């Protein structure tokens, strides 16, 4: 939730600190949850279930990302010149195959560029980094799990070897990030190899989950709030002009690790900021929010001035599209199966299919938010002062 707010604050206000901090938090969270899922499966079955893992990841990531790519190209065709739309189409091709970070690095794109000149698909670069790592990450766990089974290692020894391997990757990636930040900062910002250590820190948390689960209850809220305080400090201290991603990314990465570690095993007490219903729903919505926010901001910036109407339209349209994408694309595709589709078809045929109240509420909420964004745009000076379309004269008969 904190990462979502940070990224949205960055892109809406042009405030680089929020974007940097939010991306780092995303990487740590991704590294933790992916590794935790793989380790749980390996512990239960003796090896990671790679087929199910990759299929699940495919259903989780690709459908929503593809829908946003298509909608962004369509919206760009209405707002930009043909030459820029062609460039955006090329960006979409690289984004679809999760290599957008290398594409933008090869083009020398400044990742801190403004919405006036940026590609509306620039924000796909962190997703590309994450997916590149996640494609290879299970293979490391599979190799060490196979060695553990062959040599009859205990669970503790298996995790110790895995922790040592992941720790080595983290140190090597961090050292390379420090070097490349000095020699080629733009490439360092976008490179998979300079960001690998951030996901690795999340992976280390998953490896150490057994020990972290035994943290004393009184210590948990202290660590959690300390992590949040350090995230706030990162907003103030990180300006992105130098030393990023190394060494400055250490601050938000360590902060995120504290917050995650405090919640492993059981949630900390006295943590209402992260545990209320609004925060948890925003967390559920985070992937869809991330996908839609930047195209909305860039496209609207092409047709509106940066005034109150612009910000109102951007916020309401982003939230409306994110709610619709989450409830009608992301979640259905994430849990879809041939059996469920056949059952739904049979239920519909016999009049037994019913839409859940939560889905109906999401549809109404998304429609209201999108309508509000249209109203805000219609009230803007750009829309009011726009010349009326010329109607061709009809000759009198």
Q: Reply yes or no on whether the pLDDT at 14 is more than 50.
A: no
Q: CB-based contacts of 231: which residues, under 8 Å, 6+ apart?
A: 2, 6, 21, 25, 252, 255, 256, 259
Q: Reply yes or no on whether the pLDDT at 143 is more than 90.
A: no
- Stretch 290-304: mean pLDDT: 92
Q: Is the dihedral of CA 376, 379, 382, 384 positive or negative?
A: positive
Distances in Å between the Cα of 42 and the Cα atoms of 14, 146, 177 are: 43, 10, 31
Confidence of residue 195 (pLDDT cuts 50, 70, 90): very high
- Stretch 155-173: mean pLDDT: 91
Q: pTM of the entire structure?
A: 0.88
Distances in Å between the Cα of 301 and the Cα atoms of 70, 162, 163, 298 are: 19, 47, 46, 5
Q: Reply yes or no on whether the pLDDT at 180 is more than 80.
A: yes
Q: Reply yes or no on whether the pLDDT at 353 is more than 90.
A: no
- Stretch 207-217: mean pLDDT: 93
Q: Is the dihedral of CA 31, 34, 38, 40 positive or negative?
A: positive
The residue assigned the tokens 């040599």 is 151
- Stretch 245-262: mean pLDDT: 92
Confidence of residue 231 (pLDDT cuts 50, 70, 90): confident
Q: Reply yes or no on whether the pLDDT at 158 is more than 70.
A: yes
DSSP state of 326: I
**Cβ proximity of 187 and 180 under 8 Å:** yes
Of 344, 170, 35, 95, give the one whose Cα is nearest residue 178: 170
Residue 227: Cβ-neighbour burial (10 angstroms; 0-12, 13-18, 19+)? buried
**Cβ proximity of 20 and 120 under 8 Å:** no
> Under DSSP, is residue 208 helix (H, G, I), strand (E, B) or coil?
coil
pLDDT digits (tens, 9 = 90+) for 328-347: 999 988 877 666 667 666 66
> Under DSSP, is residue 252 helix (H, G, I), strand (E, B) or coil?
helix
> Could you tell me where the DSSP H helices lie in 123-183?
124-150, 155-183
Say what the pLDDT of residue 274 is. Answer: 82
Give the residue, 190 or 384, on which the prediction is more confident. 190
Among 42-56, 114-128, 245-259, 268-282, which is the least confidently predicted range? 42-56
């Amino acid at each position: 939730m904190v990462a979502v707010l940070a990224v949205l604050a960055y892109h809406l206000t042009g405030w680089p600190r929020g974007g940097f901090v939010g991306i780092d938090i995303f990487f740590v969270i991704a590294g933790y949850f992916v590794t935790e899922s793989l380790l749980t499966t390996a512990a239960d079955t003796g090896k990671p279930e790679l087929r199910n893992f990759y299929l699940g990841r495919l259903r989780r990531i690709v459908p929503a990302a593809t829908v946003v790519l298509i909608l962004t190209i369509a919206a760009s065709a209405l707002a930009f010149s043909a030459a820029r739309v062609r460039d955006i189409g090329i960006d979409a091709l690289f984004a679809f195959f999760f290599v957008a970070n290398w594409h933008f690095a090869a083009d020398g794109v400044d990742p801190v560029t403004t919405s006036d000149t940026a590609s509306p698909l620039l924000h796909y670069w962190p997703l590309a980094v994450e997916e590149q790592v996640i494609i290879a990450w299970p293979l490391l766990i599979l190799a060490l799990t196979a060695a553990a089974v062959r040599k009859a290692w205990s669970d503790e020894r298996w995790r110790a070897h895995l922790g040592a391997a992941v720790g080595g990757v983290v140190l090597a990636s961090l050292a390379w990030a420090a070097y490349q930040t000095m020699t080629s900062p733009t490439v360092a910002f976008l490179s998979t190899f300079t960001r690998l250590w951030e996901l690795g820190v999340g992976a280390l948390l998953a490896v150490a989950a057994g020990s972290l689960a035994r943290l004393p209850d009184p210590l948990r809220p202290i660590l959690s709030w300390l992590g949040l305080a350090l995230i706030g400090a990162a907003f103030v201290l990180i300006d992105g002009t130098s030393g990023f991603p190394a060494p400055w990314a250490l601050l938000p990465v360590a902060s995120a690790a504290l917050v995650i570690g405090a919640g492993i095993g059981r949630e900390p007490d006295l943590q209402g900021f992260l545990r209320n219903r609004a925060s948890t729903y925003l967390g559920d919505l985070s992937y869809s929010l991330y996908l839609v926010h930047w195209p909305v901001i860039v496209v609207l910036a092409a047709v509106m001035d940066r005034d109150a109407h612009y910000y109102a339209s951007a916020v309401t349209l982003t939230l409306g599209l994110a709610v619709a994408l989450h409830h009608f694309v992301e979640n259905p595709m994430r849990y879809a199966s041939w059996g469920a589709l056949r059952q739904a078809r049979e239920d519909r045929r016999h009049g037994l299919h019913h839409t859940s109240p939560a889905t109906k509420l999401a549809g109404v909420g998304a429609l209201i938010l999108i309508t509000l964004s249209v109203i805000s745009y219609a009230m803007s000076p750009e829309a009011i002062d726009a010349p009326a379309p010329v109607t061709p004269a009809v000759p009198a008969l």
